[in-house]
Amino acid sequence: MVPTKCHRSIHVLFHFILLIGCLSCAASLAQEIDKTQLKLHYESATKQFNTYEQKYRRTTKTKNVNLSYLQWGDNQNKTKVLIWLHGSLSNAYEFAPFALDLVKIGYRIISIDQYNAGKTPLAPFDASFDDLCIDIKSLMDTLQIQHAIIGGFSRGGYLATNFYKLFPTYVAGLILEDGGSVAFNTSYFKLNKRQLEQKLQEVNLPADIEEKYFGFYNDQFAAYKSLYDDSNKSDQFEILSFLKPLDQKWITYRGQQEYYHMRDSLQMSEAIFGNPNVSKYASSIIKIAPFEIFKQVDIPVLILDAISVHDPMPVYAENKILAEKHSNFIKHIAFENVDHNIHFAYPEQFLKVITKFLNEVKLTTD
């Protein structure tokens, strides 16, 4: 689970590029917590994090990297398996709040750290979504999992759809949370020149936010403090999953913008319009064509569509058309008054909907 304070601040900044929008920007209104008390939270969080990692963290050597992930449930369960793929600026902890509830209905949950996220490193070359999908398949083969429900949020939804395109026999069903069901650049191509320029300008970060979330920190505690939600006086141990040492300093999200090729309005424009300077990884999300991929869909697909006045990617109409065209396989559920991150805004409803879907999917041992 990404810290609330971090979500609130970054949402406005990346509102129009579909990263991790959850809430309106309100971090500046939070009161400063006492430093001594925060230090105690940090020390407690460190212990909790280490215990949690020891219990649920796994790493497997795949074709391109040592792929790291969190796993809950019976590791001998090879039939009822859900593999979750997180969104941008997130990691495997994104699905942690829901994992144990789904274990109770008989599922084994695997939430993967994608390239350059959590404890999975960058691939040693310009790896694309296809390369990451090959690594996910390699993980499934190593774990002897023949079929799984593949789910994902935002960028992870596109990755899930791409996995289905490459390895359809490995996919028993798809859960696409506000991503992966409609081409990424669809909403951009609806805009006139002025509207597009305005939307792209929203990508540019204010200097203070740039420094706060994408700068350097002298020690791990300072990095932890930068993401700590002052309105929630708990230990928030998940924050530690976002902290990394770099050049004798500590960072949180530094380097992620460049990796997505969404550093500023220029990079965003290059990504959307297919500039050849864009990396294979960054261009992967643009090249996915869900309507083509789902032409011959023969598995259950659950589309969770976030809708709001400030919807960063208004594609309700396209999702509705897709679901109606393949009504025997695709179910489209809209969540109103949420910009993007449904599982954060409506956690109980999100869990209820995916639980119902998972209970209805017919799984085989073939």
Sign of CA dihedral 119, 226, 2, 43: positive
pLDDT digits (tens, 9 = 90+) for 202-238: 888 888 888 888 999 999 999 999 999 888 889 999 9
CATH superfamily name and code, 4-202+257-360: Alpha/Beta hydrolase fold, catalytic domain (3.40.50.1820)
Could you tell me the maximum CA-CA distance found in the chain, to the nearest angstrom? 59
For the whole model, what pTM was predicted?
Answer: 0.91
Tens of pLDDT, residue by residue over 136-183, are: 999 999 999 999 999 999 999 999 999 999 999 999 999 999 999 999
Secondary structure E strands in the chain: 57-61, 66-72, 81-85, 108-112, 148-153, 171-177, 244-246, 249-251, 301-307, 330-336
CB 162 within 8 A of CB 133: yes
Residue 357 near residue 80, CB atoms below 8 Å: no
DSSP labels, 329-358? TEEEEEEET-SS-HHHHSHHHHHHHHHHHH
Q: Tell the residue number behind the tokens 């949180």, with chain if given.
A: 252
pLDDT digits (tens, 9 = 90+) for 292-350: 999 999 999 999 999 998 888 899 999 999 999 999 999 999 999 998 999 999 999 99
